Amino acid sequence: MRERGSIRLRRAVVGLLATGGLLATMLLGTPGTSGAASSPTYYVSVGDSYSVGYQPGLGATSGYTGYVAKKTKLTLVNFGCGGATTSSIINTIGCPDVLPHTAGGVAYPTTTQAAAAEAFLSAHKGHIGLITVSIGGNDVTSCAAGASPIPCVAAAVSSISTNVTALASGLRSAAGSKVPIIGLTYPDVILGSYVYPTQPAPASTITLAKLSVTAFKSLINPTLSKAYSQAGGVLVDVTAATGAYTSLSRTVKLKPYGTIPVPVASVCTLTWFCAKGNIHATTKGYTLIGKLVAARYAVMTKA
Where the chain has pLDDT below 70, the residues are 1-38, 303
pLDDT given at position 40:
78
Q: How far apart (Å, rounded) are the C-alpha atoms in residues 56 and 36?
A: 42
Number of H helices, E strands in the chain: 12, 7
Do 30 and 95 belong together in one domain? no
CATH code for the domain in which residue 191 is found: 3.40.50.1110
Do 61 and 110 belong together in one domain? yes
300-to-21, 68, 226, 228 alpha-carbon distances in Å? 35, 14, 17, 14
200: preceding bond cis by omega (within 30 degrees): yes
Do 34 and 116 belong together in one domain? no
Q: 25 is in which domain, residue-wise?
A: 1-39
Torsion of CA 170, 173, 176, 180, to 10 degrees: 30
Bridge partners (DSSP) listed for residue 75 = 42
Do 132 and 164 belong together in one domain? yes
Contact (CB, 8 A) for 287 and 65: no
pLDDT given at position 303:
56
Do 115 and 72 belong together in one domain? yes
pLDDT given at position 34:
37
Q: What's the whole-model pTM score? A: 0.86
Do 49 and 2 belong together in one domain? no
Query: Domains in the chain: how many in total?
Result: 2
